[in-house]
Structure 1
Amino acid sequence: MANTPQSKKRARQNERRYDVNKARRSRIRTFIRKVEEAIASGDYEAATNALRTAQPELARGVTKGVVHKNTASRKISRLAARVKALNA
């Protein structure tokens, strides 16, 4: 248990950041899921639009420190490849 005033404040801040980061992570997963659902349905146009909206969301996750840069890059790359394969 936190004893000093600073450690108590840190515990409060950590709880707050945890909630914010959790919501942000959930939001990113939702955007990714929308792209994957569009890919599964075989709709190239919908998949392209979903990917366009998911990319900035993943990039925002990187700047906010929720997702690692390489992880976001990998996810975007793999989704883009799957969307491109739909058109072929």
Structure 2
Amino acid sequence: MANIKSAKKRILVNRTKAARNKSIRSAVKTSIKKVEAAVQNNDKAAAQVALNEAIATISKATSKGVYHKNNCARKVSRLTKAVNNIG
């Protein structure tokens, strides 16, 4: 454990931020899995709804700085392409 007051604070703040980032990343992964499951079942309507929710979740992650904007753009692009190629 650190001895300096500012170092102790950094440890606490970093733990808080890491927990927040982990939660957001988990939400993004879950939303992506929902889209992929709908695509796997060839359910266009469900995939479209899941895609819209996933895009919103990914955009929030981008705005909070959890993911780089190009990373998020790539995720959205791949999901959109998968949904558009259904039947």
- TM-score, structure 2 length as denominator? 0.95
> Counterpart of 1:26 in structure 2: which amino acid?
S
> Counterpart of 1:15 in structure 2: which amino acid?
R
CA RMSD of aligned residues (A): 0.9
Structure 1 portions without partners, runs of 5+? none
Shift >3 Å, 4+ stretches? none
> Counterpart of 2:52 in structure 1: which amino acid?
R
Determine the structure 2 residue equivalent to 1:52.
52
Structure 2 portions without partners, runs of 5+? none
SS of 2:6's equivalent in the other structure is helix
**Identity over the aligned pairs, expressed in percent?**
40
- 1:14 equivalent to 2:14? Answer yes
> Counterpart of 2:6 in structure 1: which amino acid?
Q
Q: Deviations over 1:56-85 (max 9, x none)?
A: 110110111111100110110111011001
- TM-score, structure 1 length as denominator? 0.94
